[in-house]
Structure 1
Amino acid sequence: MQSQHADSTSNTNHASSAHNKNATLDSGPNATPESTSQKSISPDFALEPKYARFYEQARKFIGTDRVFADYLRRFAYGLDASCYRYIPKLVIWAQDEREIQELLRLSENLGVPLTFRAAGTSLSGQACSDSVLVVCAHFWKNISLVFGDSQENSASGGEVDSVDSSAPATKSITPKSSAPNTATKPTAPKPTAPESIWCDCGVIGADANTALKKYGKKIGPDPATINNAMIGGIFSNNSSGMCCGVKQNSYQTIKSVRVVLHDGFVLDTSARAAKGERVEDFLAIHSDKWRALQDLREKILQDESLSALIRKKFAIKNTTGYAINTLLDFDTPRDILNHIFIGAEGTLGFISRVEYECVEDFAHKACALLFYENLSLASKAVEILASHSDIVSAAEMMDYACLAISSKIGDSALPPEIGKISKGNCAILVQLEDNEKPALESKIAKITQALSPVPSLFGAHFSFDKKEQESWWKIRKALLPLSASARPSGATVITEDVCFEIAHFARGIENISALFERFAYEGIIFGHALSGNVHFIITPLLDRESEIARFGAFMEELAKMVASLGGSIKAEHGTGRMVAPFVELEWGAKAYEINKSIKAIFDPKGLINPDVIITQDSQIHLKNLKPASSKLIEDYLDACMECGFCEKICPSKGITLTPRQRIGVYREIARLSALPSKTPSEQKELEALQSGYGYFGVETCATCSMCATLCPLEIDTAKIALKKSQESNAAPTLKAGINRAIASFMSADIARMGALARFGVRSANALQAIVGKNVAFKLSSGLHNALGTPILPASMPRANGYVLGDKKAGSSRDSTLDSGAPCEVVYFSSCLNRIFAPNDAASDKRALAQVFESVCEKAGYSVKYPPNIQKLCCGKAHKNHPQAKDTLAKNAYEALLKASDNGRIPIVCDHSACSLELLASIREIESKGLDFANLGSANPDSCARKLRIYDMPAFVAKYLLERLEIAPTSEKIALYAPCSTRHNATKNEGWEGSMMLLANALSAQVCAEDVIKCCGFAGNKGFITPELNQSALKNLGKSRACVESIYADSARLDSGKDFGACGAESKGARESTEFCVDSGACKSLDSSEAQAGAMFGGAQRGFSSSSTCEIGLAQKSGFSWQHIIYLVDECAKPRV
């Protein structure tokens, strides 16, 4: 039963999975999306004849770069958040409806099943496939807001305002306090609220809410995964969540849907449907299907007991089976066709687009975290809260195990009560909301009074503080990955989701606890108590048949218990494979026949997502479980449950693998390697994964660690690539020996290496001058494709000839601090900025150090350089050679300690990645307890803590801005904060916030890139793996026109962890994202339209804080990018 890890296709010669570098490189802003497309690799296992035909024919109309047959990508792209492991025969990244139509027709012709997937965050196994998996997450990003008359009332409808959600609106940001900025700011008319929102299936739920936020609206469904889950899955699972219950889920808020049926027919139920796609066209072409639906409806209406059962069961959350209540609730073709696909889990057709009605996103929210002695008391409180559901938005229950595990979050803002509770205690997180604060306070008083008969441990304290609310919701939303991280190594994460009527809620929880005890499972219990919806997680070790049998028996008893109480075996996670065998048990024979008939009507051959919801296999829920792999990989990686929270931020997600896929493949390599004996198929699988992982797992990992900023466990997948690179360089091979010798030579004489590098840059500049930049780029690209040599981008910097030397502040300026100490700073100029000077397109061609010295002079600051600065390096460039890196870091530390007078003088670095490396190396030096005897400190234990390292924008904002007169430019500027400023290690330093504050002091119109968190240039990878940078920047600056918005808290920026409640975007950086609505400027920009000038609302200059990032940004945008210090010097003069 555990043979799921073996691929059924085998017995051919194994083709290498090494990547093919023959891809066209993006030469600028006119490049198309295909220029950063995936590499085409031939199948490395034999395909069955029908799959071989499918593969060849699909490549004809899709192309060779989005049809994947190699084992590594089939394995990786088949991973999802569920407990199942299915390996597709083929994976396809579909781009548009035409391709979906052709795939469905091909499926029908060849008898090949298809499964459609968006984000892969589903938990019940409904998005897995061992046939053809069609991924629709990368291209389906359009959002349209509908204004004016209701579509249903007007064929012409209201105004439609569109945006590509892969690049949400750029931001104009104003800090709470900054230097005077008197330039006129643009204003936009305040729009009326949209009535509905159209979302492609690949739109992330939170992005839809971002588009609606300025209007005080949101979509109804609010699953805990809304920051990652996509509309296609939210709709297809009828996902609900914290607040929406059964009142605002997809079923209640759907306005129209666009579906591609099994025969390729496109059904559009909206009032704007094109001829040939309208409801009336469906009725004419598919009259047989409509008649069959009418017959089912009549059967239900004529059966009073069945009708009563359906009404009763859908009065609570229920996603077991199809939405058969549609046939009872509606009578018109449009309404029935609007609703029948909801919760169908992609088994009836392909959901291309959904139109939701907008619901209220209240302006004021109040939350309380109520602690109770036990679940019995908490259940009584739940009954009270449920009786006040008209004013209570959410009530999330968490048992003791949930609360105990929340300490792993490591957030200092976690409530202190967590440390005071004892075993058996539990909590309810309650949220109330209103548009008027007095009305909200009245609701608080009413609920507090209503709850008074049920004693709580610490009283009822409702908080209006957003940060405190976020810390509470952070606990609730992180429970799944947190509990998964605590599982025994090799255990499987089983997440169950049941619902009871409130009257049976307490009994249901008691019964679940009894089942835990009976089957010897330890689990956590939590859920949406207001809806009677209970989640629980168990982590059984399913490494033996006996354990699988025990789990199977548990599931049987659970299903019987829930059904006996009239509950839902699946409330909101979808039927999937997990409870497909129990649909008839819950619903009874008559209702189950209705379910089967619906499937037959829309999928007569059973080829669309088979074995999901309807199955003939009573054991399907126990098959193809993820294999146990105990103690095979590092503990911090083993904690990953493949939830996918990390994926949206990864720069390589559109070119190779995402973090969860890198971990999944890494884990599988370890599992296969550890097998004492391997079948021929397992050996070939291992070879395929190992041979491809170098490129897919290491070379194209930007090692930016942005994944850790989204992961509730802060798992840093970059460590895999770093470890693999270090192991490769330490191997006893000739190549590794040469690499070590080169690294040793380079690190031993940084000054000489810098001179050689400047010579190389001058040579590159000379070539560009002779043949032209574009020709030089094409020539270098050809050599790169053939030999793997670095590319020469058109935006290549010039060589830096500026000589560094200490600069004293001028006598005409006040150059003392309030304490009387001199104004001075130690400037650690990075290797890169000692090598690079601005390129020819830059308006200011001075060396960065010269510009910083100028700004310091204006502010009355003296600049000191560490002794022998030309010989110093932070060690970042040698991260793959730990010994050389550690030596360089220690040398830098010694020099900085001396130059800063043991930390008295602040230290500034001019490249954000190097600033981060300095911080990290200082911490490492302190933690390792290196010998401080020769460092000249009277208190060596505190040396490292004394050094104050600032990224340059942070230093300027903190120390210099108040000493300068700023005349802001009226020019619109583009802004990009490098990933180093967003890193978990720098989130407390406020580096990103400082850059935002600084930019707003300098310009009236700041268009900040808010979606791309890492540009993928990654030091030298932009030269040697340029496809990573190009893919990461595919949507750079592609947003609507920049409009004024106020950044609510400039010191606190979005780290990517969005833990707000009820589907509303968390109160981080996205809170200030706005979308303009005036004419013309609001069209979504297609990739081919992303010309220089169309990006960033027409800005013609960009600013950042990383010279390497700026190369890639300039190459993509077509205009010059420089360090933001250049704009400071341009706008600043000494304060009088």
Structure 2
Amino acid sequence: MLDSKYQKFYDEIIKKIKKEKIFTDKLHTLAYGTDASFYRLIPKIVIKTDNAKEVQDIIELSNSMNLSITFRAGGTSLSGQAISDSILIVTSRNFSNFKISPDASFISLQPALTGAQANGLLARYSKKIGPDPASINAAMIGGIAANNASGMCCGISQNSYKTLKSIKLIFSDGTKLDTGCKESKDAFRKTHADFLRDLKSFSDDTKNNEELRARIERKFKIKNTCGYSINALIDFEDEFEILEHLIIGSEGTLAFIEEVTYYTVEDLKDKASALIYFKDMNEACSAVTKLKLARDSNQIIVDAVELMDRAALKSIENDSAMPEYIKDLDSEITALLIETRAINDKQLDIQINQIEELLKEFDVVREIYFTKDEHEYNLYWKIRKGLFPAVGAVRVTGTTVIIEDVAYPIECLAQATLELQELFKKYGYTEALIFGHALEGNFHFVFTQDFSDLKEIKRYDQLMNEVVHSVAVKYEGSLKAEHGTGRNMAAFIEVEWGHDAYIMMKKIKSLFDPKGLLNPGVIINDDKEAHLKNLKTLPATNEIVDKCIECGFCEPTCPSNELTLTPRQRIVINREISRLESIGEHKEAKEYKDLYQYDGIETCATCSLCSSACPVKIDTGSLTKHLRAEQASNSSKSIANFVANNFSTTLKGVRFGLHSANFIHKVLGTPSMETVTKTFRDLSSSIPKWSSVMPKATNINLNFEQKVSDKKVVYFPSCINRSMGLNAISKEEKELFDTTVEVLLKAGYQILFPEDLPNLCCGMPFSSKGFNEASNTKSSQLELALLNVSEFGEYPILCDTSPCTKKMMESFSHKLDVYEPIEFALKFLTEDLEFTAIDEPITIHTTCSSRKMGLEDKFRSLAQLCSTNVIVPADVKCCGFAGDRGFNFPELNKSALRHLKEQTVGAKMAFSTSKTCEIGLSEESGLDYNSIFYLINKVTKAKTL
């Protein structure tokens, strides 16, 4: 229940913004009250905004009512700057327009595009944006700019501050400004003359304060995001340049960023990386210092140097990508991950030799080896980017993972780092590890913390106070190098910067936000214990997800991320339910469960793509399946078992239903059919959605002529393809079964089928709904049948549906060579058939199962054998159809594929490897999606001997 002032705000804002985008319920306010930091505030109202006009309306109304607001983008913030106990404005994923200049020298980006999306847009031009945070796949542009986020390679030369061209802003009073538009600036001069005069005076005062100016120049020679970017006051003369650069790193406390225009940087494709092991921290830091000095004097080209201490290496030593010998390294060993990039391979070799020569004087444990292999060095960097979340996999359940972010002047790097390690020992943080961007003197240190114990909180406070003194006072470094001040270091800004600088920062805050309504408590906070308040705990809920640290890396991959909840938010809610139940608050826990049913369980596609984005492979889809199994009643389990034991009869029923639907469609016509079925769905959501691309019923005929051959293949047509055929608008003439048979016969195979085929199923339709017993029954039956027909694995087995193939591979206890269409085609059909690529543009969709089997690039390669023009939608991951869920919850499919139509423009044919996915893809794109085997059949002929 909202109090009167927030209720009044709600009543007014709902007149301007759709009700479904405004949340006041406990489920959504808790879900959005969580970012990647170890702080939590619960907003009173959450509003998802699609455009600048909506943000402007909210700001103007909140300003008139003196209500504070906070802006949130991707929520990967690590210092508590994206949470609120008032009004939280979330930039929805639809707030994502962009524009690239004709020469690709700059790009304009709205706030909800991720850094990875921006780089994807620029890839064709061999360009990228400068900032490269480890969270780039999930972090959005609004947050990247607002935090001046950097990363592995950008240092201080290619961050948002240095690569900013212009910016569009909305101020605390609702005023808009585009610093790239003369007319906008002229208008701002008229309405905000006093503002610009005060800003100019701040700049003049700072330039004339020799001590402060020298301090700013010195401190911004290294990475620094602690406090405001007051280097803007001495770097520029023009008021608008000062203004826009102050916004960078301001964490939503000065204005809302509507759009950022970045100068792009070169994305050199020739690169090499080496993981080099030094005898100890001192030796590694000394090597870093020499590399830094050599780079700054243009003696060598080195793009990134990442340090990992022995504890960091230990946290990843069991990763399959890491060499076995890491486990045997001594306790003092420290590694440097070094990357160098060049304009061509010849120049790359020169640079590698220069780096190796420079490092000869240092004591390395193993021979230095630079790899140019893309797969190999990408694995190294993927592991490095996942170090912070990886700590979560080894922490004690219930504890929080803390990541701090400091930078030292390079000349004192070794001494300061050794002192930091001694502080860990002093306060008993024996699990603490250090890693980071050593070339910039920027280290992250990570440790686990129990915030449910007051003694532990005191220990944390003591550690942090000593760290603050060591970093900021003794070594004059940065308390926050790239993660932003947030709530985490707001209490210590004056300690780092001194009185004059802190007073100037407070003046800047008052100038931009005179009422103090924008993200209060962040950056400017006079509470000296702010870092100890509103701490977030991570209670146990289910071992499937207990290791999650709520980093948010999973969110961009989730098909429900714009419709309902993300994997991170599902985990947040489950943790709260478990916490409430543990303290006996069962009534409130039940309230959460009721709210969670649709948002958390019904609209989870259980595609598990979240696990592929998660550095520690947490699979929230498995959690949903577990919860569905818990909810399954005995009667529903009995029905599932009956269906499993009478499967051929069930498929007959499916065919009958499809026959009936298509007959009625013919009688009524498409418009009437859509109207009638929509009416029935409005009355009961349990009635499946009908679509004009609904498949017709089909049956397969195993009685076809074929020759006996030494080359044999077992073909298991999935139950879905044994019952669902082509849709009513398809131009294809043959069913998938017949097409697959034609391809295999053309390739010279003798086709074998398992016994009792009509009753066989992989079990997926049951497991996705939580009917594990029925699923296991069907899986075991299929495994036995395939063992027999394949002569216990003598022959390869082809399944025509990727999700079914993956289910078989996961469930079978015997090792069988089971293939889905992509890998089977590449491994076998390319040997047996002659491919001639067509010129017609095609598009492909890689299913979730195929992605998890590592087939995304292979599908592209296969498609390129078939067509010279292959379109792959950049922002389409899981289609959201989720087996049969797309019939009952079509909104999930629609939301997941909201970018499909615009990103497949020009495609004439469309292909995938799963019938149910193809239904949803066809519905949302207007294209006729079919199995890739149709295209293979079209472009191939038998090889002549």
Scaled by the length of structure 2, the TM-score of the pair is 0.96
Secondary structure of residue in 2 paired with 1:1103: strand
Structure 2 distance, partners of 1:80, 1:959, is 47
Equivalent position of 2:453 in the other structure: 544
Structure 1 distance, partners of 2:839, 2:471, is 65
Equivalent position of 1:969 in the other structure: 838
CA RMSD of aligned residues (A): 1.7
Equivalent position of 1:588 in the other structure: 498
Equivalent position of 1:705 in the other structure: 608
Equivalent position of 1:204 in the other structure: 114
**How far 1:1018 moved relative to its partner?**
0.7
Aligned partner of 2:263 among 357, 361, 384: 357
1:758 equivalent to 2:713? Answer no
**How far 1:628 moved relative to its partner?**
4.7
Equivalent position of 1:1126 in the other structure: 934
Equivalent position of 1:906 in the other structure: 796
Equivalent position of 1:667 in the other structure: 575
CA contact (8 A) 1:841 1:1119 kept: no
Query: Structure 2: which amino acid aligns with 1:550?
Result: R
**How far 1:968 moved relative to its partner?**
3.9
CA contact (8 A) 1:145 1:196 kept: yes
Alignment of 1:528-607 (within 5 A): 528-564=437-473, 565-607=475-517
Equivalent position of 1:21 in the other structure: none
**How far 1:860 moved relative to its partner?**
2.0
Aligned partner of 2:761 among 837, 862, 873: 873
Structure 2 distance, partners of 1:466, 1:830, is 36
Secondary structure of residue in 2 paired with 1:539: strand
Aligned partner of 1:281 among 178, 187, 190: 187
Structure 2: which 5+ residue stretches go unaligned? none
Equivalent position of 1:378 in the other structure: 284
Structure 2 distance, partners of 1:555, 1:786, is 59
Structure 1 distance, partners of 2:415, 2:735, is 72
Q: Deviations over 1:1052-1083 (max 9, x none)?
A: xxxxxxxxxxxxxxxxxxxxxxxxxxxxxxxx
Structure 2 distance, partners of 1:426, 1:137, is 42
Aligned partner of 1:1021 among 870, 885, 888: 885
Structure 1 distance, partners of 2:105, 2:868, is 32
**How far 1:1025 moved relative to its partner?**
1.0
**How far 1:643 moved relative to its partner?**
0.6
Query: Structure 2: which amino acid aligns with 1:328?
Result: I
Structure 1 distance, partners of 2:462, 2:886, is 54
Secondary structure of residue in 2 paired with 1:60: coil
Alignment of 1:674-693 (within 5 A): 674-675=582-583, 677-678=584-585, 685-693=588-596
Q: 1:359 to 1:966 in 2, by over 3 A?
A: closer
Structure 2 distance, partners of 1:196, 1:913, is 41
**How far 1:745 moved relative to its partner?**
1.4
Query: Structure 1: which amino acid aligns with 2:873?
Result: E
**How far 1:994 moved relative to its partner?**
4.5
Equivalent position of 1:1005 in the other structure: 869
1:80 equivalent to 2:63? Answer no
1:447 equivalent to 2:355? Answer yes
Query: Structure 2: which amino acid aligns with 1:354?
Result: V
Secondary structure of residue in 1 paired with 2:400: coil
Secondary structure of residue in 1 paired with 2:615: coil
Q: Deviations over 1:313-338 (max 9, x none)?
A: 11111111111111111111232122
**How far 1:756 moved relative to its partner?**
1.1
Alignment of 1:223-234 (within 5 A): 223-234=133-144
**How far 1:993 moved relative to its partner?**
4.4
Aligned partner of 1:112 among 64, 67, 70: 67
CA contact (8 A) 2:544 2:623 kept: no
Structure 1 distance, partners of 2:859, 2:351, is 41
Divergent runs of 4+, >6 A: none
Aligned partner of 1:715 among 618, 623, 626: 618
Equivalent position of 2:101 in the other structure: 146
**How far 1:624 moved relative to its partner?**
1.0
**How far 1:419 moved relative to its partner?**
3.0
Count of paired positions:
935
CA contact (8 A) 1:839 1:845 kept: no
Structure 2 distance, partners of 1:628, 1:801, is 52
Structure 1 distance, partners of 2:419, 2:858, is 53
Secondary structure of residue in 2 paired with 1:207: helix
CA contact (8 A) 1:205 1:226 kept: yes
1:747 equivalent to 2:644? Answer yes
Structure 1 distance, partners of 2:406, 2:754, is 64
Q: Deviations over 1:99-153 (max 9, x none)?
A: 1111111111111111001100110001111111111141221222123xxxxxx
Alignment of 1:118-129 (within 5 A): 118-129=73-84
CA contact (8 A) 1:1015 1:1032 kept: yes
Equivalent position of 1:620 in the other structure: 530
1:896 equivalent to 2:896? Answer no
Structure 2 distance, partners of 1:244, 1:464, is 21
**How far 1:915 moved relative to its partner?**
1.4
CA contact (8 A) 1:837 1:845 kept: no
Aligned partner of 2:694 among 792, 796, 801: 796
CA contact (8 A) 1:408 1:482 kept: no
Aligned partner of 2:818 among 949, 954, 963: 949
Q: 1:504 to 1:998 in 2, by over 3 A?
A: closer
Q: 1:530 to 1:970 in 2, by over 3 A?
A: closer
Q: 1:571 to 1:967 in 2, by over 3 A?
A: closer
1:959 equivalent to 2:828? Answer yes
Structure 2 distance, partners of 1:446, 1:1109, is 52
Alignment of 1:908-923 (within 5 A): 908-922=798-812
Equivalent position of 2:48 in the other structure: 93
Alignment of 1:50-69 (within 5 A): 50-69=5-24
CA contact (8 A) 1:519 1:550 kept: yes
Aligned partner of 1:318 among 200, 224, 233: 224
Equivalent position of 1:12 in the other structure: none
Query: Structure 2: which amino acid aligns with 1:246?
Result: I
Q: 1:385 to 1:949 in 2, by over 3 A?
A: same
**How far 1:386 moved relative to its partner?**
1.4
Query: Structure 2: which amino acid aligns with 1:711?
Result: C
CA contact (8 A) 1:797 1:838 kept: yes
Structure 1: which 5+ residue stretches go unaligned? 1-45, 148-192, 730-735, 817-821, 927-943, 1040-1095
Alignment of 1:1060-1099 (within 5 A): 1096-1099=904-907
Structure 1 distance, partners of 2:839, 2:367, is 53
**How far 1:72 moved relative to its partner?**
0.6
Equivalent position of 1:1110 in the other structure: 918
Query: Structure 1: which amino acid aligns with 2:781?
Result: N
CA contact (8 A) 2:821 2:932 kept: no
Aligned partner of 1:777 among 653, 660, 674: 674
Aligned partner of 1:1030 among 888, 894, 900: 894
Q: Deviations over 1:478-535 (max 9, x none)?
A: 1100112211111111110111111221222122112212211131011111111111
CA contact (8 A) 2:717 2:799 kept: yes
Alignment of 1:256-275 (within 5 A): 256-270=166-180, 272=181, 275=183
Query: Structure 1: which amino acid aligns with 2:674?
Result: F
CA contact (8 A) 2:93 2:113 kept: no
Q: 1:98 to 1:126 in 2, by over 3 A?
A: same
Structure 2 distance, partners of 1:859, 1:586, is 72
Structure 2 distance, partners of 1:418, 1:782, is 63
Equivalent position of 1:858 in the other structure: 746
**How far 1:452 moved relative to its partner?**
2.1
Query: Structure 2: which amino acid aligns with 1:856?
Result: L
Scaled by the length of structure 1, the TM-score of the pair is 0.81
**How far 1:685 moved relative to its partner?**
4.2
Query: Structure 1: which amino acid aligns with 2:823?
Result: A
Structure 1 distance, partners of 2:320, 2:590, is 39
Structure 2 distance, partners of 1:216, 1:1003, is 24
